Amino acid sequence: MTDIGSEPPTPPDELDEDLREALEILADREPATLEAVATYATELARWAESTDRARSQPVTERDSLEDGETASSSVPDDVPEGATVSKTAIAGTTYRYYQWREGDEIKSKTVELE
């Protein structure tokens, strides 16, 4: 816990200038508002972590996409192990989208599902 002194705490140095300025503006707000912002920031961080984690899981580690179907169960031969996969429906047609990195390039393949 930080010692409470006569001066408000300063924003962390690792934040960019815009964010530091926004946090400095918050120093003039009521404690209830600051608590609400803190709660929101914590929830946003948890959401961002879970989203990043889901995006970065390779195909072979993804949870099932539908009952009994896993992303790795039907990976095309030309898609490397460890590619990420997403499934989407557009205009009534379902597609599986694979994405992976080869050196500095991002490669992808889209497969129409039946």
Contact 102, 111 (CB under 8 A): no
pTM for the model: 0.43
Of 66, 67, 82, 79, residue with least CA distance to 111: 79
3-class secondary-structure state, position 65 = coil
Q: Distances from the Cα of 16 to the Cαs of 19, 20, 36, 92, 104, in angstroms? A: 6, 6, 22, 43, 27
Strands (E), 1-114: 84-90, 93-102, 105-112
pLDDT at 64: 43
pLDDT at 57: 56
Of 110, 65, 64, 101, residue with least CA distance to 83: 101
Q: Strand 105-112: give its sheet, edge to edge.
A: 84-90, 93-102, 105-112
pLDDT at 60: 47
pLDDT at 2: 56
pLDDT at 30: 92
pLDDT in 10s for each residue of the chain, 114 residues: 556 778 888 888 888 888 888 888 998 899 999 999 899 888 888 887 777 655 555 554 444 455 455 555 567 777 877 788 888 888 888 888 888 888 888 888 888 887
pLDDT at 62: 46
CA dihedral 90, 91, 94, 96 (to 10 degrees): -20
